């Protein structure tokens, strides 16, 4: 039969080993959650730098073209 001292030591070691494992799993889960949040909030970060620049350039050009089309200079002349 195990003594109280042996049971207490077993409990401490058990908590230390499995408590540490649980903390590592929680930390890993948190890091994964942070990574996924970044991916959702800034989808361009998943692409290479060249592709990011290309997308930004095209987006800027489309906005610029749209702004030009909407300007007063492009309105038909009034008679």
* 37 shares a domain with 12: yes
* 19 shares a domain with 35: yes
Q: Cα Rg for the chain, rounded, in angstroms?
A: 30
* 65 shares a domain with 48: yes
- Section 36-61 average pLDDT: 78
Q: Using a pLDDT cut of 90, give the percent of the chain over it.
A: 10
Ramachandran quadrant class, 2 (left: phi over 0; alpha: psi -120 to 50; beta: rest): beta
- How many domains does the structure of the chain reveal? 2
Which pLDDT tens digit goes with each residue over 43-53?
666 677 888 78
**H or E stretch covering 57:** helix 49-69
Q: How many CB atoms lie within 10 A of CB 52?
A: 13
Confidence of residue 33 (pLDDT cuts 50, 70, 90): very high
Chain centre distance of CA 19: 28
Q: What is the pLDDT of residue 46?
A: 66
């Amino acid at each position: 039969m195990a003594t109280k001292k042996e049971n207490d030591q077993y409990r401490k070691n058990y908590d230390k080993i499995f408590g540490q494992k649980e903390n590592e799993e929680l930390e890993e889960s948190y890091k994964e959650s942070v990574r996924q949040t970044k991916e959702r909030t800034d989808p361009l970060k998943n692409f290479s730098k060249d592709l990011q620049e290309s997308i930004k350039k095209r987006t800027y050009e489309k906005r610029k073209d749209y702004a030009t089309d909407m300007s007063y200079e492009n309105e038909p002349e009034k008679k």
